[in-house]
Amino acid sequence: MAKKVQLDGSMALPAVIVILGPTASGKSAVAAEIAACAEHQCEIVSADSMQIYQGMNIGTAKPSCEEQARIPHHLIDITSPYEDGFTVDRWLDGAHEAIASIGMRGKSAIVVGGTNLYVQALLCGLFDGPAANESLRAELRTLTLTDLRARLESVDPQSAQRIHHNDQRRMIRAIEVTLATGIAMSLHQTQWSARGPTLPDGWACVGLLPNPPSNARAINQRAKSMMEHGFLGEVTHLLARGPLASQAAEAVGYRELSQHLSGDLSLDDAIEQIKIRTRKLARHQRTWLKRFRHLERSAWSTAPCEEKSSGEFWRAVLGPAK
């Protein structure tokens, strides 16, 4: 475990700080502020399922090269957007390895990101599904996406509603788990998600829950800023190298701008769809975060992060459980 990192000469950071919050709530800014005020005694572990992809920078709000040079980041740019197969267990292995290595250097790790599945796995462990059935997978891959979706709807309607109709990999896995266990994949996931999260000793949590109107304003402003900073050009460049793999292609913004470039959406409609889809994601994240409010050694803010001083955050992290 990491030694206590001293902050401002009087307080010590936990070995691991997990920062939670909906998209555009200011999580990354808070992480960077904590790390900067800790005088280079922190490193950041990304828990974002789209920041793992090389070249997907603007639309994922990835830390800039300058930011990454100031504060070491882990689990960013670790795989190609043209390849599928990156799994939550691969991320979890990487997160455990990064946290351990940061601790060995006597520093604190700050885990930050909005991918619910990653945080759930880190705090609750993984859902242990059956092993892959390669013969069944090969059979299902011969089906059209329409037929594959119909097959999924027949065995697990809830998963069919949740999984995007172009996501062949996840549809196949849902069918595979359902047939192997006799229990719908969606029910397995509901039971797994119901496990109560706990923080290991030496860990703390900061939660950001700005009210929905302020969060929506931040989302709209971020979409505008991304477009102004070259998001469309980034997507154009990526697609010029080839089609994105199914996981990367579903990223918010990349799907909509790809549809614009293919002639299916006007640019204005694509931008509006990005805002709508991101606000929907934020609503889902706020609902999901309710289960973490009871965590010991956690502190929650309902104010926009820019309205809180760094001192308030340090006391929230290091003070009594909320």
Chain segment 3-15, per-residue pLDDT in tens = 444 444 445 788 9
CA 157, distance to chain mean position in Å, is 25
The Cα–Cα gap between 191 and 188 comes to 5
φ, ψ for residue 205, nearest 5 deg? -135, 135
Looking at the 3D structure of the chain, how many domains does it have? 2
Q: Are residues 235 and 110 in the same domain?
A: yes
Could you give phi then psi for residue 265, rounded to 5 degrees?
Answer: -140, 145
Q: Are residues 217 and 233 both part of a single domain?
A: yes
Higher pLDDT, residue 36 or 321: 36
Mean of all residue pLDDT scores within the chain: 87
Check whether residue 201 and residue 314 sit in a common domain: yes
Distance, in Å, from the CA atom of 275 to the CA atom of 252, rounded to the nearest integer, reads: 9
Whether residue 157 is found in the same domain as residue 227? no
- Specify whether 118 is located in the same domain as 216: yes
d(CA 174, CA 156): 8
Task: In whole angstroms, give the CA distance from residue 4 to residue 12.
Answer: 5
pLDDT band of residue 1 (cuts 50, 70, 90) is: very low
How many Å apart are CA 171 and CA 141, to the nearest integer? 10
Secondary structure (3-state) at 75: coil
pLDDT beyond 80 at 136:
yes
Q: Are residues 14 and 117 in the same domain?
A: yes
Range of the domain at 178: 134-193
18 and 114 housed in the same domain: yes
**Alpha carbon distance, N-terminus to C-terminus of the chain:** 24
Say if residues 243 and 80 touch (Cβ distance below 8 Å). Answer: no
The CATH number of whichever domain residue 77 belongs to comes to 3.40.50.300
- Range among 17-31, 44-58, 200-214, 300-314 rated most confident: 44-58
Residues 279 and 144 in one domain: no
Q: Which residue has the tokens 């691991």?
A: 16
Distances (CA, A) of 297 to 56, 125, 184: 34, 19, 35
Write the CATH number for 151: 1.10.20.140
Which of 147, 167, 193 delimits the end of a domain?
Answer: 193
Whether residue 299 has pLDDT greater than 90: no
C-alpha 97: how far from chain center: 18
Do the beta carbons of residue 250 and residue 243 sit within 8 Å? no
Inter-residue contact 243 to 71 (CB < 8 Å):
no
pLDDT for 305 equals: 46
Q: Are residues 242 and 281 in the same domain?
A: yes
Concatenating the DSSP letter of every residue in 96-142 gives: HHHHHHHHHTT-EEEEE---HHHHHHHHH----PPPP-HHHHHHHHT
For residue 157, CA distances in Å to 139, 250, 280 come to: 20, 21, 21
Q: At residue 319, does pLDDT exceed 70? A: no
State how far the Cα of 215 lies from the Cα of 287, in Å rounded to an integer.
14
229: three-class secondary structure by DSSP: coil
- On whether both 267 and 303 belong to a single domain, the answer is yes
pLDDT at 250: 92
Residue 30: closest CA among 205, 160, 154: 205
239 DSSP β-pair partners: none
Say whether both 205 and 78 belong to one domain: yes
CA–CA gap between residue 88 and residue 117 (Å, rounded)? 7
Single residue among 174, 193, 212 that ends a domain in this structure:
193
Residue 315: pLDDT band (50, 70, 90) is low
150 & 103 share domain = no
- Give the end of a domain, one of 147, 177, 193: 193
Whether residue 248 has pLDDT greater than 60:
yes
